[in-house]
Every structure is written in structure tokens, then in C-alpha cells.
Structure 1
């Protein structure tokens, strides 16, 4: 009977490695990696710099904490043949993928290398991105895409298009699960533009970052319109006209620094709370300056940004989509060291009225905050929805309903502060008690009503005014009576629609106290696949 030991003796003995052979292999690997890190050529790098653009690895170094980047699949090469590709098989295949740290927390990144095939996406290129997003999903960490690519690699045909489909599917699957940020640092055209549009935040750099589905040449051929790349899909276009961009910058360094700041305000995934920081700004600090910042007269303008700066820690906040739909402010900030999302009407722009774009902007922001466990603070000073044929025909009803839907669906702690006026349907939509805000506070100059006193008096007392000997005097008297009866500061509080009427100087302390009380809030939703939000 053969014993185990005997059978092992029958196996062939491996040859002893030649002395120093493994060291030679390691040296070869080191040399190869150094060539990959150096990039395709000095000429290509020079051309990149000549356009005012950093190289892919320079960008990653700016984004991540020093020395923290771990690259994966740096030796990946495409396997396509034909159209000259078999003779051009550079390592990385035009995209650098890996993970590192931002402020000590893990972040995944993929970055197109425009020096290789113009950053165009092929099968191997796409597969690397698929794997990177899958790793981020498994690790529960954010993904940052540094976009600088010419779209699908034409030489690879439909396999390149299928690669985009895999990216889109993964972005959607992780929507609301892990933060996803796109940074447009070069061209992003055709189907490639949909990937950033699906992510949570989009940042762009002026002069170099461009996004469009069809370029200027196609536009001119089809419509006859002559337009430049920058005017069609540049950073300022998407920041102020389309609303696609959440932040716009003059240079890549400033842009990537703000991406790092944004990541510091967000949790790593939807199972965590946002990170906290030590706060040296006292939670109970009185905000006396608000007594002078906000006029009592509801028709006088003021800058809501100054109010926000007075309320948040050290006056610092991160505004989202600052130059689009300027009649509403959406910002991330900290209060007592904890991240909050702030939605505020802006009286300095169109009197703070709600319209189509403001509703879209705020709805998406509310939804993003709710996805990532960020409490909401809503500062209300709204005269209503913007009237007009263009607004009605443009669908202000369904767009306004998006904001209503987002608030009604939100389960995070919610605090409403009514500074001055809150009229009509806009009052309801701005996170009123009737749609589920947890705590509603109001200043002693608040006016909550179906409409302003003048408009209400003209409707309710129109016959009495018309029959009066002096209609103007009668109107003034009836307006005063209506305001005294139905719009005084304590009317809503008497009916339980406002929890407290507060001294404006107490606003910061009262909001922080309410958020502290709500920190363990649990608000389960009915069992369902997902809601069917307004289109």
C-alpha cells in the first residue's frame, strides 16, 4: 500500500531558481511601471499642458491625499484589431483607475488620459471603469470621475457603445448609495455626456471642460446654427443656462480642491452619517446681526446669503449651482460641526419667487440630501409661484410638484424657519408642517397666508371696495383689517402650524437644538419598489 509520503516523493521536483532571477523580473516590472507612469510621450504631455490642462496623474495627485493612490490594472491593454489598433496597444488603455484617500477616507477615482486615443472609450477602457465602480460599491466609498475623453472609440464599434451601457447601469444602481462626482476637465461628447448627468454632482473648468450630445459641426449641418464649442457646451453655459453643472472654476487646482471639500461634507455611503468636525463656533451663539440684515417690510429686498452665513459654523457654506436659478439658494454647511443641507428663497433675485428652474434645482438638492442622511434646514421668504403664460406652458405645475414630492418623500430631520412672507402654494411646498417638516419656527414678522394682504383684499372685498365713495381709502382700511385678522405673526402658531415664534437672534441655537433632538429620527416609508415622481 502506497503511503502519502511515498506518493509525494514520486512528484517531479521543481528546478531551483537561478540566482537573482526573481530580482531581474522585479527590475523589469519596475521599469515597465515607470514607463506607464511617465505617460505615452513627452510630446503628448507637452500638448496637454499647452492646452492649459494637467495630465491624468497630476490631477489624481491634486485630488487625493499625498501618497495614498493605489492603481489597479495599470498594465491593461486593448485586444482590438484592425484600423491600425493592433500596432497601438498602450498600457492603461487611456484610463487610470484606483483608489486613495481624501481627508483620510477612501475614495475611488477613474480618470481619462487624453494623451492616449484622445481618452476615447473602448472595451478594455470600459471594463476597467466597470471594475472600479463595482469595487466602490463593495467598499461603500465615493467615486470621482475625472473626465477628459473624446467619446466612444470609433475603431472598436459597438463594443465601445456597450461599454458605456455598463457604466450607465452601474451609476444608476449606485445612485443614492455612494456619492458619485463628475469633474469635466476636457471634452465630454455624445453618449459620454450621459455618465456625468447621472451622477450626483458635476464640476467644470472654464475654457477646457465641455459637454454636449452633438458638437458644433453637427449642429450647423442639421440646423444651420453657427456656435462655438464653449458657447454650446462650455462651463458657463451649463452653470447658468442648462443647470447641468453644479460648480464652475477657472482652473483645475481650485476645482479639485472644492471636490475635496465637498467630499468632506458627504458620508461615504447611505448607511453612514456625514462626518463631523470639531466646532469652535458656539451652538448657542446669538445671531443679533439678523435683526439688521432682514427688513420687516416684506417688499424690501435683502441677500439671503448673508443670513445663511450668520447661521452656519464660522460663516462657511458650499453653495450648489450658484449661478443657475438664482432665486433659490441650495447649500451644504455645518452647524455645530455637523453637515446640513440648506434650501432658502433668495429675495435679492426675482423677489425669491419659485419658478420652474428653482423648483427643479431645490427638488434635486432635497433628494440628494435625503439620500445621504443630511438634515434639511429650509429658510422661507417666498411671495408665491411666478405667474405667466411661459411658466404655465413650461410645466410649472409638474416642476413645482417635483419639489413637493422631494420634501414629502424625505425621511431626514427637517427644520423650517419662516423669516417673513410665506404665501400660497409656495408656502406649502417650502417644507411646511402640513407636508411633514419636523419643527417649524417663525420670526415675529412672519406673514403666512393664501396671498398678500393687498391681493386678498381685492378678491374678498371687491364689491365693497367698488361701492365705496372713496375706493382707495376703503381698500387701505380693508387691507389693514385683513392683515390684522388673518396675517398676524401668531395666527399660524395659534393653530399649531408653527411650533414657535422666535427672536431672530435665537435662530442658530433653536435650529441646532431641533436638529440635535431629531438626530435619531426614524421615519420608515411604505414597502414599494420606488415612487413615481412627477416627470
Structure 2
């Protein structure tokens, strides 16, 4: 027995230590090893590994080596004491490529995550499907995708790209709830630079084709982008610690901090009364939430809308807000898609929604129309209409046209609609309305400029005064801006026991 124990310990130590030359090559690329990443991600000493001794069963001249783990470290650990399941692809073994044994390990931890109601975290660093294993590698990817879809809306799924993620493997991050990428070392694409050049003649680098900044600012596949692995994994830990472990458990709370009695006079100074003057919605959010702390998603994609997690009086909320600093805060196809996915995540995991409205409308133009702004705008509309979590709308300034409806208006089911005295809720602004309604009168006027000013003032007085919507029950209260945090906190407390009985149907058909 002593001899067997010694042999077992030696083998285990060798497997965990890995090939020193391969690990040196990983470090030379500016990347940590799979196990080093897990040490940063998980609480110290909490990792429990599964299938350490797993090896592929392919007997081929092209795949003679049979290293243990088969290129992926899989198991479970804790983050801030809460259970998670994780797998980390090991680029030092077969380039982290996925074969049958590799995929089976991933399937196992995914099944365990689902059965225990625990978040799933994938650390991707892989050359893609293992060519030597042929169709079984593709079958392995299919099993991952099927499990991700089955887990969607039941457990939070995190994908962290820390190296290459090519071909079919890229669909896994696309199916995850949150995708993190590290600059310079991470890349993600369906077809690599060589294939692109062969097919189209275009020469492009890995980073130009699918680097972190491409997916963080242009494609929107990456939720968050970082300069280094340490900061990236720190934020993965932080986000996991904020969110519920599954769709049945409540999100972790922090102690109440008296938000219902916390007046913030600076809010009135942050937002100009003039409807066309810009300001940063982030400043408003910082005054609204506990300790001014919020976690923004997709910061560089769809920047005309803001989506963030924060706490109000200790309760986790999802905040959606138009951003007047970018395109005057209009809704376009990208902003609509970004906000729709965020709203659906919050609804799936019972996270209340706070929507801050200052929107002049949808972005006009042939590019937006031909690119499907109607369909993308309908996605946001569908997401809000479908949401059953507590929903609070705050209209800070202007709310025009269809964009007002889409931004969680009373008509599509918000639970509580609050408005500042500066609110202007209408089909369009006064000047635009006058140009449409009184076009002939203005053309026939001896002094069109003066007459336009008179008509604009009349229209604003009649239709754009702060109480117009409140008198018709479309706004529940007109509040002092300084009392916004107090009113939202009180509203959340009022709606905390909200219940909803879903209709008997398989599922709806969101306009994707």
C-alpha cells in the first residue's frame, strides 16, 4: 500500500505540474497556465478537480501522445464562499484542442452545474476542434452548445477568452451570458486569417479579425475587455459575487443603507433643464445607487445606452439608461439589441429593472432602416413587455415618440413611472411638431420665424407641460430630482413581493 500511495502521489504531482517546457512557452506568450488562472479565479484551496486522469482513447499514428487531463482542467470551487463550476482549457496540451475526452469532461461539469444550480465559468484558450479526432470533436462541441441552451436562464454562464477561440468554439462564448476578453492574447473568429485570405484575398491579423477591441466595440460579442488576465479574473469574481447562483435563488444582498431617506440635491444640477444640452448619464447613476458603485456592461458598444448592475438600498438592480453624451441618447439598432439582451437576463434571474429615460427618438436614416432598426427596436420592446420582474421607469427629461414607449413606459407594463418636472413626453419635440402640423400656415405667414416661435410656445404649453402625462395616469408621480434615489428605493420595497403567473405557452417568438 505504501508503494501504491507513493506511485499515485508521484503521478498526480506530475500531472498537476505539467510539461515545464510547454508551460514556459505559455508564459512566453504572456499567458498564465490553466491552473494559475484557476488559482486567481477561485477562493484559495477550494478547487475540487474531476477527471484528472482522463486521456483520449484514439489509437492513431497522428495522435500518439496520450497526456492526462486531455487539455482541460475541470471541476468546482467557490467564489466569495459560493459554489461555481469551471473548466479551463490547457493550451500546453494539444494546444487546448477539443476532442472526445476533452468534451466529455466539459459536459460533466456543465451537468453538475445545472443539477446543483451553480454558475458555470469557462476559461477558453484553445486551437479549436482536434482534427485528428474528426467528427467526434464536432460532436463534442454540439454537446456543449446543447447544454448551454438548456442552462440559459437557469444558471448564469460566463465565458472568459484568454487565448485563441476559433471556428465552432466561438459559438460557446456567443451563447454565454457574459463574455470577457483579454487584449493582445485573446482572439475569437469563425474563420481564421489564412482562410480569409484564401477566400477573399484580404490579409488581416488575428487581432484585426477577432481581437478583444473588435468584439468589445464593433461586434458586441465581448461584454468586457481587459488589458491583463489578473484584472479580468478579478472582475469575473466580482460579477459572480453580485449575481444569484440560479433563477430560483435571490441575489446576494448587502445591508440596507437608508436609501429611502437619502436626498441627493446634486441630481438636479447634473441634468440641464434645456432638452438639447448633453450630460453624462453615468453621473446620474452614481448618485442613484449605493456608494456610487455600478458595474457597466458593453461599455464601448452601443454607447448611446447604458446597461449596468448596481445596488439600491442593498438590493441588486439592473439599470438601463439613455446616454445623452453619445448621439444625444437616441435608440439605434445596436443600442436596442444591447439593452434587450440585458433586460432579458435581468428578468430571467429576477433582478428588478430601473430605466432612466431621456430619449429624443429612434435614429433616422437609410442605414438604420435597411439594417433592420424596426426589428432590433422590436427586440427591446419585446424584452420589456415580457419582463415580469419589478420595473421602475424614471423620465428625467425628454421622451419622444416610439422610443418613449419602448423605454419601459406605462403602456408596456412598467410597475411604477416617475417623472422629473423637466419631463417632456410627446410624439415629438415642439419644433418638429409645429413644422408638421402648421407647414402650410407657416409658408403663408408674412413672418414665418415669429409665427413659428408663437406656435412652438403654444404647443409646448399645451402638450409638453410636466403634468400632461400625470393627469392621464401615464406617470404615477412627478418627483423632485433630489428625491429620485428615495423614490426608487421606496418603489423597489413596494414591489418586492410582486408575483406573476405565466401564460400557458411553450414560448414566444422574439423578433431576432
TM over 0.5: yes
Rounded Cα–Cα distance in structure 2 between residues aligned with 1:224 and 1:512: 57
Q: Give SS of 1:231's match.
A: helix
Equivalent residue for 2:328? 351
Rounded Cα–Cα distance in structure 2 between residues aligned with 1:130 and 1:532: 29
Q: Which runs of 4+ in 1 moved over 6 A?
A: none
In the TM superposition, what is the alpha-carbon distance from 1:283 to its structure 2 partner? 4.0
User: Greater CA radius of gyration, 1 or 2?
Assistant: 1
Is 1:55 aligned to residue 38 of structure 2? no
Could you list the runs of 5+ residues in structure 1 that have no partner in the other structure? 1-20
Matches within 5 A, 1:223-302: 223-280=200-257, 282-302=259-279
Match of 1:91 among 68, 73, 88: 68
Rounded Cα–Cα distance in structure 2 between residues aligned with 1:509 and 1:227: 53
Rounded Cα–Cα distance in structure 2 between residues aligned with 1:162 and 1:473: 72
Pairwise CA RMSD: 0.9
User: CA 1:455 to 1:350, structure 2 compared with 1: closer, same or farther past 3 Å?
Assistant: same
Match of 1:479 among 450, 456, 464: 456
Whether the aligned pair in 1 keeps the contact of 2:162 and 2:229 (CA below 8 Å) is yes
Rounded Cα–Cα distance in structure 1 between residues aligned with 2:429 and 2:202: 45
In the TM superposition, what is the alpha-carbon distance from 1:377 to its structure 2 partner? 0.3
Equivalent residue for 1:67? 45
In the TM superposition, what is the alpha-carbon distance from 1:25 to its structure 2 partner? 2.0
Equivalent residue for 1:26? 5
Q: Give SS of 1:466's match.
A: helix
Match of 2:430 among 453, 456, 466: 453
In the TM superposition, what is the alpha-carbon distance from 1:37 to its structure 2 partner? 0.9
In the TM superposition, what is the alpha-carbon distance from 1:281 to its structure 2 partner? 6.4
Deviations 1:256-309 (A, max 9, x none): 000011111110000111111225464421111111110000000000010001
Rounded Cα–Cα distance in structure 2 between residues aligned with 1:296 and 1:365: 29
Equivalent residue for 1:191? 168
Equivalent residue for 1:156? 133
Whether the aligned pair in 1 keeps the contact of 2:259 and 2:489 (CA below 8 Å) is no
Rounded Cα–Cα distance in structure 2 between residues aligned with 1:284 and 1:396: 41
Deviations 1:406-425 (A, max 9, x none): 00000100000000000000
Equivalent residue for 1:397? 374
Equivalent residue for 2:465? 488
In the TM superposition, what is the alpha-carbon distance from 1:194 to its structure 2 partner? 0.4
Deviations 1:288-334 (A, max 9, x none): 11111100000000000100011111001000000001000000011
Match of 2:57 among 36, 59, 79: 79
Q: Give SS of 2:261's match.
A: coil
User: CA 1:292 to 1:276, structure 2 compared with 1: closer, same or farther past 3 Å?
Assistant: same
In the TM superposition, what is the alpha-carbon distance from 1:459 to its structure 2 partner? 1.0
Q: Give SS of 2:170's match.
A: helix
Whether the aligned pair in 2 keeps the contact of 1:212 and 1:233 (CA below 8 Å) is yes
Rounded Cα–Cα distance in structure 2 between residues aligned with 1:33 and 1:281: 53
Whether the aligned pair in 2 keeps the contact of 1:281 and 1:336 (CA below 8 Å) is yes
Equivalent residue for 1:438? 415
Rounded Cα–Cα distance in structure 2 between residues aligned with 1:283 and 1:25: 65
Whether the aligned pair in 2 keeps the contact of 1:49 and 1:55 (CA below 8 Å) is yes
Give the TM-score of the pair, scaled to structure 1: 0.95
Whether the aligned pair in 2 keeps the contact of 1:279 and 1:313 (CA below 8 Å) is no
Matches within 5 A, 1:505-516: 505-516=482-493
Q: Give SS of 2:321's match.
A: strand
Rounded Cα–Cα distance in structure 2 between residues aligned with 1:454 and 1:308: 30
Match of 1:408 among 359, 382, 385: 385
Give the TM-score of the pair, scaled to structure 2: 0.99
Whether the aligned pair in 1 keeps the contact of 2:395 and 2:423 (CA below 8 Å) is yes
Is 1:218 aligned to residue 208 of structure 2? no
Is 1:113 aligned to residue 61 of structure 2? no
Equivalenced residue count is 512
In the TM superposition, what is the alpha-carbon distance from 1:501 to its structure 2 partner? 0.2
Deviations 1:161-213 (A, max 9, x none): 10000000000000000000000000000000001101100000000010000
Equivalent residue for 1:5? none
Equivalent residue for 2:15? 36
Could you list the runs of 5+ residues in structure 2 that have no partner in the other structure? none
Rounded Cα–Cα distance in structure 1 between residues aligned with 2:504 and 2:129: 40
Whether the aligned pair in 2 keeps the contact of 1:151 and 1:191 (CA below 8 Å) is yes
